[in-house]
Amino acid sequence: PSEAPLPPAKAVRKAFSSPFSSLLVVVLTVLWTIPTLGLLVTSVRPKQDVANSGWWTFFTRPDATLANYHTVLFEGGFGVSGGLMPYLVNALAISVP
């Protein structure tokens, strides 16, 4: 006697609830997150470190600074004089009732 085929919803649920599927999702999530971590680490590194070495060297020589954020928010650059802080305050004032 052969087994009756599973209904489509149960077949999909069974396929996506296997340990292999769970492991695959975890691996893909970690791989997808690595570039974001690289951007975050690069944003807190001094300019000369960013120019001379990769972001992964931060973990052996952590030299973090918030100077990049200060420059963007308060000093400006790239055609924005005065920084982005007034624009962020304006966006917050508009979006929060």
Q: Are 15 and 21 in contact (CB under 8 A)?
A: yes
Contacts of 25 (CB under 8 A, 6+ apart): none
Question: What is the model's pLDDT at position 78?
Answer: 72
Per-residue confidence in pLDDT tens, the chain, 97 aa: 567 776 777 777 777 788 888 899 999 999 999 999 999 999 999 989 999 999 999 999 888 999 989 988 898 777 778 888 999 999 999 999 7
> Would you kindly state where each structural domain of the chain is located, as residue ranges?
1-62, 66-97
Question: What is the model's pLDDT at position 6?
Answer: 65
Phi-psi region of 82 (alpha: psi -120 to 50; beta: other; left: phi over 0): left
Number of alpha carbons in the 13 Å side-chain half-sphere of residue 94 = 6
pTM of the full predicted structure?
0.64
Question: What is the model's pLDDT at position 1?
Answer: 58
